[in-house]
Structure 1
Amino acid sequence: MFKRRLFDAAMTAAGMPDLRFASSGGDGPSGGRRPGADGARSRLSLRLDPDVDAAGKARKALARLEHKLERGVLQDMHLLVTELVTNSVRHADAAAHEPVSVEVSVSGDHVFVAVEDGGSGFKPKPRSARSPRDSGWGLHLVERLSSRWGVSSNGHTRVWLELARGGRAEPA
């Protein structure tokens, strides 16, 4: 129910970010995985201002991939992109003018998502029983819903994940 309301809210969010959308047969971020049955991959690239509207704009832009994804995968992607963009806006120690970038690539067997900001990085830590109830869920959800994920820092912070298509994969 919560995911459905989150999805509905995303579809009514105002404004569109700087957006590029492409469908091609080129190599995707996962390097060598098989593309969709038609040989095409769909890609979405966003650059968002790091403000309170960023997560809503990202969700609205994700609607362009709706026809390519199964309902459960689409809902998981919406939730995880929302969490990661929100984390970028709230926690990146970057200057306010540095954008948050979102990259999505859809292929036949998975969806690759990466969110990058100007922050200097962090070490992921597991959620504990002492964690506040109203925060700290973003990476916990990423770990639970994605088949693979990671964090890299090289002047910027990049959190990436893969969602298995055709049903949720057990985390590695």
Structure 2
Amino acid sequence: MVVVAGRGAEPESGAERVSILDREAGIRLPALLASPDSDPSVDEVRLPNRPESAKTARMLAEAVLRGKWNLPAGLTDHGVLLVSELVGNAVCHTGAVRFGLRMYRGRGRVRVEVRDPSRGLPCLLPVQDLDTSGRGLWLVERLSDRWGVDLQPHGKTTWFEMRVVEPS
């Protein structure tokens, strides 16, 4: 079972509103997007700051890239990996209670954003062969066409874009 935090107002009890998605039960990828609360191409999906949110974000990204937008496998695989890296950075380095995942498709491009309440800027570090961490932004730099960080009044949005060859 995967728990995806819902967006919108919190219930008065303070409990988190959730959608339960069961991939192991054979739900096909587009079915993950059955609820607007779990479709980052429709609206921002809010995820809790837990390590398992990286898996949830990967599943949602794959559902959008492969299932909804029908993008090629290589582009989808790179996009899913980069989503995982940005979410991993948000989980490890921001101290956020929650962060947001949003995906856009424009003419000839896909843009993925991860929004968190920290104004601390991510740092692209040099990577050595034996390094066991610190490769996230290096991968984003290598596999995306563009990436950056937009500071907001209360946080930041870290994003990447990949080119999509549109069918003729």
* TM-score, normalization by structure 2: 0.68
Q: Which has the higher contact order (CA 8 A, sep 6+)?
A: 1
Question: Over residues 50-76 of structure 1, what are the superposed CA-to-partner deviations in whole Å (9 max), with x where a residue is unaligned?
Answer: 012111111122233123111111111
In structure 2, relative to structure 1, the CA distance for the partners of 1:61 and 1:133 (3 Å cut) is same
Residue number in structure 2 paired with 1:73: 75
In structure 2, relative to structure 1, the CA distance for the partners of 1:20 and 1:93 (3 Å cut) is closer
Residue number in structure 2 paired with 1:14: 2
1:47 aligns with 2:35: no
Residue number in structure 2 paired with 1:118: 117
Residue number in structure 2 paired with 1:137: 135
Whether the 8 Å CA contact 1:104–1:111 is kept in 2: the answer is: yes
Residue number in structure 2 paired with 1:162: 161
Take 1:166 and 1:137, find their aligned partners in 2: how far apart are those partners?
27
Whether the 8 Å CA contact 1:46–1:101 is kept in 2: the answer is: yes
Whether the 8 Å CA contact 2:102–2:114 is kept in 1: the answer is: yes
Question: Over residues 21-51 of structure 1, what are the superposed CA-to-partner deviations in whole Å (9 max), with x where a residue is unaligned?
Answer: 38xxxxxxxxxxxxxxxxxxx5453100001
Consecutive unaligned residues of structure 1, counting only runs of 5 or more, are 1-12, 23-41, 168-172
Q: Give the AA of the match of 2:80.
A: H
Residue number in structure 1 paired with 2:31: none
Q: What is the aligned-residue identity percentage? A: 30
1:85 aligns with 2:87: yes
Aligned residues: CA RMSD: 2.4
Deviant stretches of 4+, over 3 Å: none
In structure 2, relative to structure 1, the CA distance for the partners of 1:64 and 1:123 (3 Å cut) is closer
Question: Over residues 135-170 of structure 1, what are the superposed CA-to-partner deviations in whole Å (9 max), with x where a residue is unaligned?
Answer: 111110111111111112233121111011139xxx
Q: Give the AA of the match of 1:21.
A: D
